[in-house]
Structure 1
Amino acid sequence: MTATSVPTQMHAISTETRSTVDDVLDYARRRALYEDVPLDKPMTPRDLSRLASGSITADGIGARRAIALFENVLAPACLSTDHPGYLSFIPSAPTKAALAFDVVVSASAIYGGSWMEGAGAVFAENEVLHWLAGEFGMPQGSGGVFVQGGTIGNLSALVTARDAARRRNRDAGRADPGRWLVVCSAEAHSSIASAAAVMDVDVVTADVDADGRLHGASVSRVLDEHGDAVFAVVATGGTTNFGIVDDIADVGAAAKEHGVWFHVDGAYGLAAMLVESMRPAFAGVELADSVIVDPHKWLFAPFDACALIYREPSLALSAHTQQAEYLDTLTGKPDWNPSDLAVQLTRRARGLPLWFSLATHGTEPYRAAIAHGVDLAARIADEIRERDELSLVRDPQLSVVVFRREGWTLADYDAWSSRLLEEQHAFVVPSSHAGEPVLRFAIVSPLTTFELLTGILDTLR
């Protein structure tokens, strides 16, 4: 500690701390209200080391210099996932209301893990979760929690599923199998395999049809073969690479017939259920024992938020409630603690930005914004069909469009992608399908236009 330092220096209300808050909020306001969001691009470690090293010192460099370093060097070395031309992976497009309220969540110092400490925040989050459960057709009494992302959501749901299977075996006087199994398709998100590795269980993939969809018949064959070793079946409500929706009703019926937990991973695509014309594609979600959807994807919330919803939250409480003497005052109460419903204890109230945006705008603008992505994908797919040098790999079902540039190799795609980013036109990286390099547009932002997409296609000539 330097001679001038005092323990309260960083926390006291002073001219210095007021200036720090003002400087940070000024930048946040500028960034949130950019008319033209910069796409930006990564820098090499060498360049960042040259431009940004030395910020951590004994006495600090001051808020003004620190925010200037972030705004002018560090932030431009990060891609803006909310740029209308960010079309890779699954983009983010938070509303201005959600962005602004994310600042409030941090400023409020709310612990979102227990009802005792964060009742107001938890109540607001539960309002959103109950609304989503109703949209998905899940019964009264369903509930859940907002977790970090789809990986944690899927892991938490599968931990609950295995715990429920173990309890059933114990109640029936049956021994657990030597190895537990989870069934999904080869198109399932990589987080299912990741969760299985963490849990030390095995994944068995069931066959899909020519369109990449999982059906009940192939799931039933796996269940018949492996019997009681299977503790969960996972259907996907919109795969990341193609936006494919499994035959959820058929898969769910097979899981129910065999008495197996049914989980729907809708991290990207399940939000499309808010559009009336898309609801038939998701028939059967109401059969699920658990579902996830990521608001930081197609529900226009900032990173990071995954809504995990259980048909019977009490089963999650049994699986996840942590036991410790210092936690005794929190457990066993009639109100659910969010920390008892997933793999977590310390928890940010990450559902509040979505709550605020929904409360501000209402649900109808959300339906319109999601419909925009679906409609635009169909429109740009038609455009691709009209161009001789391009061809669709598969008709889009949601808002992901996968296509190829005839005659191009992976090296051609990589060079084109790098040039597109270097020119700050868009961020589109190649993917692959059945060993073939392909391109894909993942459309989320309502600010992404047909003209922007056709302009990108023009560069492929």
Structure 2
Amino acid sequence: MNWDEFADWGGKIAARGAAYHKTLRERPVRSPVKPGEIIAQLPETPPEGGCDMAEILEDFERIVMPGLTHWQHPRFFAYFPANAAPPSMLAEFMVTTLAPQCMLWQTSPAAAEMEERMLDWLRLSIGLPEGFQGVIQDSASSATLAAVLVMRERALKWEGNVRGLSGGPTPRIYCSSGVHTSIDRAIWVAGIGQDNLIKIPAKPGDPNRALDTDALAAQIREDRANGLLPAGIIGATGGTSVGASDDIAALARIAGDEDLYLHVDAAWAGAAMICPEFRDLWDGVEQADSVVFNPHKWLGAQFDCSAHFIRDPDALRQTLAIRPEYLKTQTDGAFNDYSEWSVPLGRRFRALKLWFLIRSYGLSGLREMIRNHVTWSLALCNKLRGHSEIEITSEPILSLFSFRPKGWSDDAVLSLVEAINTDGRIYLTQTNLDGQIVIRFQAGSFGMEEADAEMAYLTILEMIRKTDAG
């Protein structure tokens, strides 16, 4: 393909993309294909010769499109959003065409300096105080892994990377029972082991399902008395299941008293902190050692883009930085080489999409979207609450709540979820809450309108009537 053909096909693909987004409401949210349908249409061996782009795109429409679940659909109410706002897509198109490698300041000065500025824009936007510095990670999972590695090294007096964990005390990490499973994976990868991730149950009756801080403090004291090595606490703001949010101020007091590192995982909910009225959900966050949230969720930045804020970047660099001769430059120390702040060496130019996105909508436009989602979700929750056959099983935390039909078995609830998703008008997921299966609703799609919440209400009621309670 020559560059004239590239320009021609680039324009055609952009036009197809716009048409796709304008007709999303006409498509089922979840892919209807059966397992094996896609791979059966793909040849078992690669072609020897090339073919025309027109043929490739025809096959794309025939094979790929039916097998996609439409994450940008305005009635995607499952999991959490993975939005891709149009300005962010254009930025990613630019980055893909330029294809810079941004591991050091020297390898892409604009990328390094824009990342520094964009993370400071985000810091100001969510109300974190001066003193926090930021880096873009690929996901909250990577940010949490980095935080756990810092906890480990700090507790081991910076000798873990050299000596390993065998033969010495094993660090212990504490969190709530409602955290994302990325915390478990970080513990595995860091070599700490599942047995040393201590999950503290929620405080009985707490509306936010925050972990019991008295139980946490008692567990830390008991572990120290038994010769174990407490290293850090991971707090949650907006847990994955039903939005559980810990008392961050109380966790910070315990972390300070016990000299532990405090990391706050706000992967989804952190975006809502651009609205000052929601910040009481993470009161005390300014005392944390690190915080992560994902602009690639609610803010509309194309995946992947995770904002990781650190009070002491030197601790992160001391944990992760490695400097072979071929990576040393004459600008060492003058600017941030962000590959020293993350596990991968190679880095994409992720800051550009934040620049495009924030300048295009402004904070006011992004705040309006988030406030609408919270309002529409609360209204839907209250409508379902008013229905005699439905119980609300967890109250809204921002735009997330859960419910289930009264008196139904878990199997019947799962059948209802499957029936709703097979119907195609909306997409929901289930979770296990207090030992029973409940249905999650989470509003967050960039293209959502109030009418989409009304469609969710009508669809839920209709499918309850059609589904056997079991």
- Would you call these one fold, judging by a TM-score over 0.5? yes
Q: Is the 8 A contact 1:139 1:311 kept in 2?
A: no
Aligned: 1:220 with 2:217: yes
Q: Is the 8 A contact 2:237 2:269 kept in 1?
A: yes
> Which residue number in structure 2 is paired with residue 347 of structure 1?
347
| 1:58-457 correspondence to structure 2 within 5 Å | 58-167=48-157, 178-201=169-192, 202-210=196-204, 211=206, 212-227=209-224, 229-329=229-329, 332-446=332-446, 447-449=448-450, 450-457=453-460
Unaligned 5+ segments in structure 1 are: 1-9
Opposite residue 183 of structure 1, the aligned amino acid is Y
SS in 1 for 2:91: helix
The aligned residue for residue 7 of structure 1 is none
The letter for the 2-side match of 1:88 is A
- CA displacement, residues 212-250 of structure 1 (integer Å, 9 cap, x when unaligned): 212432322222122371111010011111112111111
Cα gap change, 1:97 to 1:32, in 2 (>3 Å): farther
Q: Is the 8 A contact 1:105 1:349 kept in 2?
A: yes
SS at match of 1:47: coil
In 2, Cα distance between the equivalents of 1:45 and 1:354? 36
Task: Give the Cα separation in 1 of the matches to 2:393 and 2:355.
Answer: 37
**Please, what TM-score do these two structures have when normalized by structure 1?**
0.90
Is the alpha carbon distance of 1:277 and 1:252 closer, same or farther for their aligned partners in structure 2, counting shifts above 3 Å? Answer: same
User: 1:45: how far off?
Assistant: 4.2
Tell me if structure 1 keeps the 8 A contact 2:234–2:263.
Answer: yes
Q: Say whether the 8 Å CA contact 1:292–1:308 is kept in structure 2.
A: yes
Instruction: Report how far residue 191 of structure 1 moved.
Output: 0.8
Question: What residue in structure 1 maps to residue 468 of structure 2?
Answer: none
Structure 1 residues 26 and 103: CA distance shift in structure 2, 3 A: same
How many Å apart are 1:307 and its aligned residue? 0.8
Q: CA–CA distance in 2 between the matches of 1:281 and 1:177?
A: 38
Task: From the superposition, tell whether residues 37 and 294 of structure 1 become closer, same or farther in structure 2 (CA, over 3 Å).
Answer: farther
**Higher deviation after alignment, 216-225 or 312-321:** 216-225
1:47 matched to 2:37 = yes
Give the Cα separation in 2 of the matches to 1:219 and 1:330: 48
- Please state whether the residue corresponding to 2:344 is helix, strand or coil: coil
Give the superposed CA RMSD: 2.4
- Would you say the 8 A contact 2:139–2:304 is kept in 1? yes
In structure 2, the gaps of 5 or more residues are 466-470
In 2, distance between residues paired with 1:34 and 1:349? 30
Aligned-pair distance for 1:135? Answer: 4.1
Aligned-residue offset at 1:360 = 1.6
CA contact (8 A) 1:149 1:306 kept: yes
Report how far residue 334 of structure 1 moved.
2.2
1:133 is displaced (CA, Å) by 2.3
1:31 matched to 2:20? The reply is yes
| 1:395 partner SS | strand
**AA paired with 1:191?**
S
Cα pair 2:267 2:292 within 8 Å, conserved: yes
SS at match of 2:173: strand
Identify if the C-alpha distance between structure 1 residues 83 and 110 changes in structure 2 by more than 3 Å, giving closer, same or farther: same
Aligned equivalents of 2:276, 2:5: Cα separation in 1: 53
Task: Give the Cα separation in 2 of the matches to 1:412 and 1:280.
Answer: 37
Q: Conserved in 1, the CA contact under 8 Å of 2:176 and 2:202?
A: yes
TM-aligned CA deviation for residue 57 of structure 1: 0.9
Structure 2 partner of 1:5: none
SS of equivalent to 2:185: helix
Q: What letter is aligned with 2:197?
A: V
**TM-score between the two structures when normalised by the length of structure 2:** 0.88
